[in-house]
Structures are given as structure tokens and as C-alpha cells.
Structure 1
Amino acid sequence: MRLGSLRQLTLASFVLALVPLIALLWQSQNDLAKVGKMTHVETRYVVDVVGLMQQLDGAAIDLERALRQYAIIRNETVATLTDNAIIQFIEALRQLCDTLPDSATCDTIKKDITQLKTFRNIDDTLLLNAYLNSLSNNVALMRKDVDIAIQQRLEVQKEDLNAMQAKQAWSTAMLVSVSLLLILLGSQLIVNPVKKLKQIIRILAQEQGELPPLSTKAPTELIGVEKDLHWLADRLGQLEHIRTALLRHAAHELKTPLASIKEGCSLLSEHVVGELNTQQTEVLSLLTSSTQRLNTLVEKLLDYNLLLQQAQPTFTEVNPNQMVKDCLEDYALALQEREVTVDIRVARIWVDEELYRRILDNLISNAVAHGAIGRPINLAIYEKGQQVLLDVANRGKRIAPDAVKRLFEPFTRGDDPRNDNVIGTGLGLSIVSDCAKLMHGDVEVVDVDYADVCFRVTIPQEERQ
């Protein structure tokens, strides 16, 4: 499934991330509307019930006044007014009792009104006062019922608000979490192809392993970049093959004319074709020296070409003492005026013997060529953690920090003159770096207190397992 362009994916992710937030906003608006409606209803209820209670209080006062007037002035006009006061009280009571259906005081007041309806037959003032006191007490109880009812409604409203607030909190947490998950999902759809691009670039830079297959679930732009990187890998492979072939053929083709020149110089130097005068001998000496330098360059090119072709090292257990001994014997003449200090603290190392020997050869050759004449060279092989370290140190001019960065690049030579008056090829330290990388190690220039220049090669020993 193709994901479309990067712009479409970004916009779609943004819209999907907004959907939960829009839902949260819609729910918040609904809750606010419910709260407003609830507040309006409860406020209206409180106003109405308080108003009805005030009407009942007024009707009770008018009824008591009318009854006491009739007790003093017993005529039909006052009786009619009293009947009207009873009717108004009953109507106010009915309206209030309809608002408070659960109030038991309503029935009690209705009994009192039933008794007071017979006011024409009540001649005893004490009995009338008892009826009126009972009515007044029950009206006061009704007032308490109104307060209780209002308080209960407020408690119910508070519980509803708390429940709505809890629901809003849970909804907010859930919808925000969903939004974050959608954002992470959208970003992951972009991050994963980018990580794959970084992996491809790392493989191209380190020249290790094969490239992963082309992605099918990625934005179009990133798939295009991945295709370009695959094309670049193919192109680099072609250029590497051309370079390797060029080095191999050039070095091989140079061997034939070089052998002829060397043979001709040898015949001239041995006076096979006749005696040479002083000037001719001097020219022959220059030719012989140049031929020797050219032969060294060709051998270095062949060695470097062979190193480029060796893709996989073969790790074996190697005795470092014997390897160092053989290497120093090869450089016996160059080391006649120098003291070589050897410190080997491991009995066996797990390396590619051929690659490690090349590292030793080139580092010792570099120390001889650039170290101070008559000063010692220190060589140490020791173990540190899961790594074997090789230190080759010499006395002489220190290497500038800026030059260290370019030191291990091919065909890069230092500016300082060599002790052996031989023009270097600039491949020695590059071969050391490439050999170390083939064995998953590294080489660097480190500072030590006993020498001016120290090259340290680190080779991991995980291959033992």
C-alpha cells in the first residue's frame, strides 16, 4: 500500500490528530449547554417555590386575621371574607404542594383547614387559638420542607456537575491520548523511511553489507530518495570496480618496463657494455635510485589493491611474540641504530594474521622513516576489556592536530622529510586504517607521556565467541 506524497501524509496526519480534539470541543460545548440549562431550571424552581411559600405565608396571615375578626364581629360580610381567605389559602397550598409532592406537611395543613372551615360553629376562643396555632406551626414546618427541598435539589445539581466534570476529565484524557497516538503513528510513518535512508547511507559510507530492498510503504518523495541511493550504490560499485581494475592493471603493466629499466641499469653498472665515465656513473646512479623508488610505489599500489579486494577477514589465534619477532627481523638493517622496546602482555590474539602483519609492517616503517634518528621506538600489545590494543610510538616532531584528520587518507604524505630520503607513497597509514576497519577496529593518534607520536590500533575480540 502506497502512502502518497509526503505533503498528503502530513496533512492527513494533521487532520486525523484534530478529529479527537474537535470531538472534545463538541462534547465540551454540549456539557456547557447542559450546565446552562440545568442552572436555568434550578434557578426557576427556587424562585417559584420561594414565591409560592411567600404566597402561602401571606394567605395564612390573611386567614388568621379574617378568623379573628369573625370571632369578634359575627356577621355574614366577615364570614364571606373569611370564606374567601380560606379559598385563597387552599389555592396557595395546592400550588405549593404540587411543587413539593413528597411533603407530608401538606396533609396536616389540609386537616387544619378542614377544621377551620367550620369556623361559624366555633364559639370557644381557646379552641380557635389552638386551631390557628396548629396552622401556624404547620406552615412553619412547610417552610422547612421548602428549605429541605431546595437543598436537595442543590445537592442533586452538585452531584450532576461532579459527574459531568469527571466525564469531561476522562473524555479529555482519552481523546488527547488518541490524538497523541495518531500523531505518533503519523510521525512513525515518516520516521521509519527516514531511518531506513540513514541505514542505507551508513552502509554506503562503511561499505558493509547489502542494501535493504526498496520500501513499498513510504511517502513517494522518500521512496524516490531511496531509489536514488540505490542507484548511487550501484554507481559507486561500478566506480570501485573501475578503480580496482585500474590499480591492478596499471601496477601490473608498470612491472614490465620497470624490469627492463632495472636490467639495463644493472648491465650498465656492471660495465657489461663498456666503461662509464664519472658523469655517466652519476646519471646511472640517479636512474637506479629513481627505478628503486618507482618499484616501491608499484609494490605499494599492488598491496593496496590487494587490500581493497579482501572484503572478509579470516580470524585465527595468532602468537603476537612470533609475529613481532618476524617483523623486526625484516627491518633489522633499518633498526640497527635504534633501540626497539617491545612490551607484549597477551599470549594469544584473535585477528586476521595477514592484515595484522600489514599493520605492524607499515607502523614500524612509519616510525623508522619519521622518528628521530638514534631514539628508541616503543611497541606494545596488550588487552583492555574485550579489545586488543597495539601501540607503536616514536620520538620526533609531533603531528599537528589539523594534519591528524587527513593522516589516514590514501595518497596523503606528511610535510616533514623522511629519514631514509625515500619519497613516500602516502598509502602506508591508509593501509593501516583499512586493515583495522576490516577487522572491525580502528586506528588513532594518541598522546602518551613517553613518546612524541603514538599510533594506537584497537581490534575487538568478540570473534573469539
Structure 2
Amino acid sequence: MRLGSLRQLTLGSFVLALVPLIALLWQSQHDLAKVGRMTSIETRYVVTVVGLMQQLDAAAIDLERSIRQFVVLESNAVADLTDNALLQFIDAKKSLCKALEDSQTCIRLDNHISQLKAFRRIDDQFLMNTYLASLNSSVASMRGDVDLAIQQRLAIQKEDLNTMQAKQAWSTAMLVSVSLLLILLGSQLIVNPVKKLKQIIRILAQQEGELPPLSTHAPRELIGVERDLHWLAERLQQLEHIRTALLRHAAHELKTPLASIKEGCSLLSDNVVGRLNPQQVEVLGLLTSSTQRLNQLVEKLLDYNLLLQQAQPTFAQVDVSRLLKECLEDYALALQDREVTVDLQVETILIDEELYRRILDNLISNAVAHGAVGRPINVSIYMKRDKAILDVANRGKRIPAESVEKLFEPFTRGEDPRNDNVIGTGLGLSIVSDCARLMHGDVAVVDVDYADVCFRVTIPQKEMV
């Protein structure tokens, strides 16, 4: 399934999440209307039943009064009024019994009515009083039946309301849960592509691993951003290949004319083409010195190029005293007027020998180039918390704090002039930083009390016993 735009996905998710809430609102309105109808019906029933009971009470009172008047007067006019009162009582009883339906009192009232219909022939006053007393008792029982019927209807209504309330609670919980799930689903459709974009950016920043394939289930805008990031990765890779090739080719092409110049200088210095006068010897010395400096710059360029191409270091136990001795021998001429203090507290450390040698070469070369002339250089290698520490310190002008952050970037040169009058490439300290990083370590400028500038290289010794 191909998702639409980010706006469509957002609006669609919002509308989809509203569907359960709309259903809940509709059900609530339906239940509320049902409660309203139920309340209206029950209210009308109560009012109707109470009104019929009042009519029955009034009819019973009129009937009793008419019968007692007939017993005293025994006139036809009073008898007609009694018959009329009896009919009104019968009508009120029928209406009330129709509303109550299952009342047993209605049967007794029918018997009382049958007895009272013969009121003209009843001469016994005691018997008439008995009939009237039974009628009043049955009417009173009818009041109890009315109250019971009302209580039963209220109980049924309460039970229905409780059932409806429970149904409403379950429906609310279910529909709100569905709505939340839909919201989470819609947000996940947006969050997952964003997480993938963050993963791609992290891979590009760390330059490690391959990029994941393009997404097919994501909004068009995010797919477009992902496609642009893939294009950016390809472009960065092309630029990296161009840079590496440029460094490799430039260093290689410089070697050829440099070798010819060195060979020519050698022939001239050996007097192969004839003896040279003092002025020519002086010029030849300048050419030879410049050729050596140019050769050093080319070697650093090649060294940085090889460092960029190295993938994984090879760790082994290395004799640091031997490694440091070889390095100092290579810089014997540059160090002939300086004192080098060496402090080795460990004999072997776990490192990549080639990378560590590059670190030593560049740090000692940096100390010679930027340290004060005639002042000592301190080299210390020791262990601290399962880490091999290398300190190379020299006297001279301190490095400003604002320059430390950019000090290890490629092609960044210091502002102070070098002691050897060689124009540096700005690669030495960047090579140190990259070599330390390849060995899972780091390099930093630290403050020490015995020197003005100190570079500290820290290499973890995780496999040291």
C-alpha cells in the first residue's frame, strides 16, 4: 500500500481516530434519548395511577355518603344519586384496575360492588356498615397496590439505567481504546519513516555501514527526503573517491619530478659533471635542502592518504622502547641540539604498531617544529585505568584555547612560524587524531606543570591482561 502525502496521512489519521468518538457520541445521544422516553413514560404512569387512585378515593367517599343518606331518608331521589355514585365508583375502579392489571384487590372490589348494588333491599344497619367497612378496607388496599406498582416500576427503571450505564462505560472504554490505537497507528506511520531518516543521517555522519533501502510505505514528502539523503550519500561517496584519488595521484606524480631533482642534485654534488665553484655549491645546498623538505611534505601527503584508506587496525603487543628508539633515531639530526627526556613506565602495550609509529613521528616532529630552540622535549608512556597514555610535551608558546578545537582538523596550520622554516601541510595533528581514533582512542591538548604544550594520546587496553 502506497501512502499519500504527509498532509493526507495526518488528516486521514485524525478523521479515522474521530470515527470511534463519533460512534460513542451517537450511542450516548441514543441512550440519553432512551432515558428521556423512559422517564417520560414512567412519569406519566405515576401521575395517571395517582390521579385514578384519587378518583377512586373520591368515588368511594361519595358512594358511602350516598348510601348512608339513603339508609336515613330512603327516598327515590337519594337512591338515584346512590346509583350514580355507584356507577362513578365502578368507572374509577375499572380505570385503576386497567392500569394495575394484576391487582387482586380489584376482585374484592367487584364483590363489594355486587353487594352494594342491592343497597335498597338491605335493611340491616350492621350489615350495611360491614359492607362499607370492607369497601373502605379494599380501597385502602388499593392504595398499597398503587404504591407497590410504582415502586416496582421505579426498580425496573433503576435496573435499566444501571444496565445502560454499564453498557455506556464498556462502550466508552472500548471505543476510546480503539481511537487511541488508531492514533498510535497513524503516528507510527509518520514516526517510523522519521526514525529511518535519523538512522540514515547517523550513518552519513559516522560514515559506517550501508544505507537502508528506500521506503515504500511512507508519505511522499518523507520518501522524497529519504531519496535526497541517498543522493547525498552517493555524492559524498563520489567526493570522497575524488579526494582520495586526488591525494594519491598528486603524491605519486610529485614523486617522479622529485626523484629527478634529487638525482640531479646528487650528480652535481658528486662532481660528475665537473667541479663546482663555491657559489654553485651554495646554490646546490639550497636545492638539496628544498628537495628534502619537499620530499617530507610528499611523504606526509601519502601518509594521510594511506591513513584514509586503512579500515581496521591490527592490535598486537608492541615493545614501546624499541618503537620509540627507532623514531628518535630518525629525528637524530633535528634533535641534535635538544635534550629528549624519555619516561617509560610500561614495556609493552596493545596497539597497532604502524599507526602508533605515525603518532610518534608526527608528535615529535611537531614538538621539534614548534618547540623552543634548545629546550628539552619530554616523552612519557604509562598506564592509567587500563589505558595506555602517551604524553609528548615541549616548551614554547602556549596554544590558545580557541584554537584547540580546530587543531586536529586536516589542513589546519598554526599561526606561529616553524623552527625549520618549512611550510607545513596542516596534516600532522589530523593524522595523529585519525590514528588514535582507528585504535578506539583519542588525542587532546592537556595542561602539565613541567611544559608549556603537551599532547596526550589515550589508547584503551581492553585485551591487556
Fold similarity call, TM over 0.5:
yes
Counterpart amino acid of 2:342? V
Partner Cα distance (1:391, 1:325) in 2: 16
Please give the per-residue CA displacement for 1:298-351, whole angstroms capped at 9, x wherever unaligned: 00110111111122333445555655565556556666524233444x9653x4
The equivalent of 2:342 in structure 1 is 340
Confirm whether residue 377 of structure 1 aligns to residue 378 of structure 2.
Answer: yes
Counterpart amino acid of 2:156? V
Partner Cα distance (1:378, 1:202) in 2: 38
The equivalent of 2:218 in structure 1 is 218
Confirm whether residue 181 of structure 1 aligns to residue 181 of structure 2.
Answer: yes
Change (3 A) 1:254 1:29: same
Give the match's secondary structure for 2:215.
Answer: coil
Give the match's secondary structure for 1:406.
Answer: coil
Please give the per-residue CA displacement for 1:421-448, whole angstroms capped at 9, x wherever unaligned: 5433211222223233434554445567
Change (3 A) 1:124 1:372: farther
The equivalent of 2:138 in structure 1 is 138
How far has the Cα of 1:177 moved from its partner?
1.8
Residues 336-375 of structure 1 aligned to structure 2 (within 5 Å) = 336-344=338-346, 348-349=349-350, 351-370=351-370, 374=375
Partner Cα distance (1:205, 1:20) in 2: 44
The equivalent of 1:21 in structure 2 is 21
The equivalent of 2:10 in structure 1 is 10
Residues 390-405 of structure 1 aligned to structure 2 (within 5 Å) = 397-405=397-405
Kept in 1, the 8 Å contact 2:349–2:388? The answer is no
- Normalised by the length of structure 1, the TM-score is 0.85
Kept in 2, the 8 Å contact 1:341–1:376? The answer is no
Change (3 A) 1:133 1:234: same
Give the match's secondary structure for 1:379.
Answer: strand
The equivalent of 1:237 in structure 2 is 237
Please give the per-residue CA displacement for 1:151-194, whole angstroms capped at 9, x wherever unaligned: 33223323322322232222222222222222222222222222
Please give the per-residue CA displacement for 1:63-103, whole angstroms capped at 9, x wherever unaligned: 22112212212122222222222222222122222222343
Partner Cα distance (2:127, 2:180) in 1: 79
- Normalised by the length of structure 2, the TM-score is 0.85
Change (3 A) 1:237 1:64: same
Percent identity of equivalent pairs: 75
Stretches of structure 2 lacking an aligned partner (at least 5 in a row): none
**Which has the higher mean CA deviation after the structures are superposed, 92-101 or 351-360?**
351-360
Change (3 A) 1:63 1:381: farther
Counterpart amino acid of 1:337? E
Give the match's secondary structure for 1:2.
Answer: coil
Partner Cα distance (2:188, 2:366) in 1: 50
Change (3 A) 1:337 1:315: closer
Partner Cα distance (1:454, 1:140) in 2: 113
Residues 29-108 of structure 1 aligned to structure 2 (within 5 Å) = 29-108=29-108
Give the match's secondary structure for 1:88.
Answer: helix
Give the match's secondary structure for 1:377.
Answer: strand
Kept in 2, the 8 Å contact 1:367–1:377? The answer is no
Change (3 A) 1:271 1:42: same
Aligned residue-pair number: 460
Please give the per-residue CA displacement for 1:121-157, whole angstroms capped at 9, x wherever unaligned: 4334344333333333332332233233223322332
**Which has the higher mean CA deviation after the structures are superposed, 284-293 or 367-376?**
367-376
Kept in 1, the 8 Å contact 2:381–2:388? The answer is no
Partner Cα distance (1:176, 1:376) in 2: 74
Partner Cα distance (1:377, 1:134) in 2: 129
Stretches of structure 1 lacking an aligned partner (at least 5 in a row): none
